[in-house]
């Protein structure tokens, strides 16, 4: 399992050199010198296709309807011109009255966008804050009261704080909706519509979604005016740049197989997916017992534990992150060498989302899936979606012929709640302001 030579589609210097040594290219040179400095300090040289296509129009104040996935450089595509606009028409924001609102489906994505705003705006005096549910609102309200230029928010907490009078949207000049398809999947459409009623009609609107089926375009057109349309198909579809393998294994041997893979050469930063939260915990314990530093993230973990785990994973202090699908949404970590599906997902599309966590920004990556007898039907669905079989690796110490030959249908109620809805779409995905509050 040797890691392949990475192939960069976003040219990026290998180290973060002093920005004075770097020469920026393309639309980057039209940006405010302070933003250029921040971009150069990140090691970027030339804009990605989405940046090349969006930035000039956004600098002119046009609305935008964009179809692009994470990993394309989308966050900088909207953050850089936003910062430029706010910096050149600088004015002090009043208490709780942001000049720009960015809505994102999950707290992880919202936090990542906030981080990008901080990074690209580090030489400007632009303030920002991120609000999301699942944590005490005290520090969020305190930040809002100081006045922020940019507010990044998940829908539930945004409406909560608006309802309590901590956020007022009448000064919003730029309204950005990121990953709208996921927000709709998570049932946030009514929330988006409520927010829309509060933002001024005279604004710049950016609407981003991984896919833009006709229904989504209709929704988008109720929000944007004469938008520029940008569609970015990654150079190589994610799955084609990923070396995929399936290993047939008995359920009881999954832990041992995982540990043996993690000890192989060339296996660096690894994201492991489990179907259930308790499995994520159990796997992490098994790794610890084998002397492998791992951490679990899932919906039952406190926000601070999730942030700690993610920071540790990003910095390399934690080599293996074990996650459920909901917790991993929007997760953006650059140098994941392997995605391991400890459990195959019930939905084939989820498989594509999962394995796309490796091979970010044009690099190659490996995706290894464990398949036990009960998972066989999930594998069939995945192969149907991909239009090709996932290559099987039979030579390994825990190969299980029964799993390989299994014709079992999907287990009844596998990973589903009583309602029959997949569990990973219930609690964690429900807008937080509607969730009954439980004492911890």
Q: Which is nearer to ligand AMP, 71 or 98 (CB)?
A: 71
Q: Count residues near ligand AMP (CB under 6 A).
A: 17
Give residue for tokens 């999962």: 354
Closest approach of ligand AMP to the CB of residue 9, in Å: 9
Contact characters 323-342, ligand AMP, x per CB under 6 A: ---------x-x--------
Among 224, 295, 361, 429, binds ligand AMP (CB under 6 A): 361
Q: Please report, as residue ranges, which positions from 54 to 73 form the binding site for ligand AMP (by CB under 6 A).
A: 70-73
Q: Which is nearer to ligand AMP, 99 or 360 (CB)?
A: 360
CA distance linking residue 430 with residue 440, whole number of Å: 18
Please choose, out of 47-55, 57-65, 143-151, 235-243, the segment that lies near ligand AMP by the rule CB under 6 A.
Answer: 47-55
- Quote the strand ranges of 28-161, DSSP E: 64-67, 100-103, 128-131, 150-153
Positive or negative, the Cα torsion across 273, 277, 282, 286? positive
CB atoms within 10 A of CB 162: 18
Among 36, 48, 67, 284, binds ligand AMP (CB under 6 A): 48
Binding of ligand AMP by 195 (CB under 6 A):
no
The candidate with the shortest Cα–Cα distance to 71, out of 356, 274, 323, 341, is 356
Binding of ligand AMP by 353 (CB under 6 A):
no
Q: Which is nearer to ligand AMP, 179 or 375 (CB)?
A: 179
DSSP state of 391: P
CA 237 from chain centre, in angstroms, equals: 17
Closest approach of ligand AMP to the CB of residue 358, in Å: 13
142-to-102, 129, 146 alpha-carbon distances in Å: 19, 10, 7
Q: Contact 391/248 with Cβ under 8 angstroms? A: no
Q: Which is nearer to ligand AMP, 240 or 334 (CB)?
A: 334
CA 384 from chain centre, in angstroms, equals: 25
What is the side-by-side order of every strand in the sheet holding 204-209? 128-131, 150-153, 100-103, 174-177, 204-209, 64-67, 228-231
Please choose, out of 42-50, 87-95, 287-295, 314-322, the segment that lies near ligand AMP by the rule CB under 6 A.
Answer: 42-50
Please choose, out of 45-53, 103-111, 156-164, 260-268, the segment that lies near ligand AMP by the rule CB under 6 A.
Answer: 45-53
Give residue for tokens 């994941």: 336
Contact characters 75-114, ligand AMP, x per CB under 6 A: xx--------------------------------------
Which positions lie near ligand AMP, rule CB under 6 A?
Answer: 10, 12, 44, 47-48, 51, 70-76, 332, 334, 360-361
């Amino acid at each position: 399992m040797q890691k392949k030579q990475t192939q960069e589609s976003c040219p990026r210097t290998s180290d973060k050199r002093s920005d004075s040594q770097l020469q920026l290219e393309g639309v980057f040179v039209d940006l405010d010198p302070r933003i250029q400095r921040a971009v150069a300090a990140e090691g970027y040289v030339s804009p990605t296709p989405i940046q090349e296509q969006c930035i000039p129009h956004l600098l002119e104040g046009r609305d935008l309807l964009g179809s692009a996935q994470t990993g394309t450089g989308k966050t900088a595509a909207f953050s850089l011109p936003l910062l430029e606009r706010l910096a050149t028409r600088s004015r002090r924001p009043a208490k709780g009255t942001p000049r720009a609102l960015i809505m994102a489906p999950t707290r992880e994505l919202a936090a990542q966008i906030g981080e990008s705003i901080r990074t690209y705006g580090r030489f400007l005096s632009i303030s920002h804050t991120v609000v999301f549910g699942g944590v005490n609102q005290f520090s969020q309200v305190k930040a809002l009261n100081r006045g922020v230029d940019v507010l990044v928010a998940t829908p539930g907490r945004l409406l909560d704080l608006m309802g309590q009078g901590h956020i007022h949207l009448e000064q919003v000049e730029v309204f950005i909706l990121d990953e709208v398809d996921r927000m709709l999947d998570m049932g946030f459409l009514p929330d988006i519509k409520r927010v829309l009623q509060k933002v001024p009609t005279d604004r710049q609107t950016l609407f981003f979604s991984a896919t833009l089926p006709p229904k989504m375009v209709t929704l988008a057109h109720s929000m944007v005016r004469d938008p520029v349309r940008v569609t970015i198909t990654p150079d190589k579809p994610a799955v084609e740049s990923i070396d995929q393998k399936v290993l047939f294994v008995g359920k009881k041997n999954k832990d041992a197989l995982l540990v043996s893979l993690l000890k192989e050469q060339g296996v660096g930063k690894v994201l492991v997916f489990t179907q259930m939260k308790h499995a994520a915990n159990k796997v992490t314990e098994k790794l610890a017992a084998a002397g492998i530093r791992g951490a679990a993230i899932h919906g039952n973990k406190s926000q601070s534990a999730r942030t700690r785990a993610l920071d540790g994973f990003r910095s390399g202090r934690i080599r293996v992150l074990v996650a459920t699908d909901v917790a991993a949404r929007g997760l953006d970590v650059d140098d994941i060498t392997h995605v391991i599906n400890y459990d195959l997902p019930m939905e084939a599309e989820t498989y594509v989302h999962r394995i796309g966590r490796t091979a970010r920004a044009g690099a190659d990556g490996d995706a290894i899936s464990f398949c036990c007898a009960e998972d066989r039907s999930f594998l069939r669905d995945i192969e149907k979606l991909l239009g090709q079989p996932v290559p099987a690796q039979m030579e390994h110490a825990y190969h299980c012929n029964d799993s390989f030959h299994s014709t079992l249908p999907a287990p009844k109620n596998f990973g589903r709640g009583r309602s029959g809805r997949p569990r990973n779409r219930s609690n964690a995905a429900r807008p937080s302001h509607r969730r009954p509050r439980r004492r911890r």
